[in-house]
């Protein structure tokens, strides 16, 4: 499942954020959307935003398959902004 998410994220220009700790959670960022993160953990993806002081604790969106991630990124992160 992770490989399917990685293919979708890469196709949309998102890259993995390096982590200092060995964790099962992966975070991804996009250069044009630095206040957004996509988190992948336990077969699910979630989209979080930075509110100026911290990452919001409630996901703006989530799903459990690569197709839903692809659809979400296509609808909400077109080139040039949202």
Taking only the tens place, the pLDDT of each residue in 3-50 is 999 999 999 999 999 887 777 889 999 988 889 999 999 999 999 999
- In angstroms, rounded to a whole number, what is the distance separating the alpha carbons of residues 28 and 74? 16
Q: Is the pTM of this model over 0.85?
A: no
State the DSSP H helix or E strand holding residue 75, giving kind and residue range, or none if neither.
helix 66-76
Collect all residues with Cβ–Cβ distance below 8 Å to 1 and sequence separation of at least 6: 43, 65, 66
Collect all residues with Cβ–Cβ distance below 8 Å to 58 and sequence separation of at least 6: none
């Amino acid at each position: 499942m992770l490989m399917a998410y990685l293919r979708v994220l890469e196709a949309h220009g998102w890259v993995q954020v390096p982590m200092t700790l060995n964790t099962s959670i992966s975070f991804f960022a996009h250069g044009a959307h630095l206040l957004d993160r996509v988190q992948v953990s336990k077969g699910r993806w979630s989209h979080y935003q930075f509110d100026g002081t911290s990452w919001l604790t409630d996901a703006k969106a989530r799903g459990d398959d690569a197709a839903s991630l692809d659809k979400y990124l296509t609808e909400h992160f077109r080139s040039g902004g949202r």
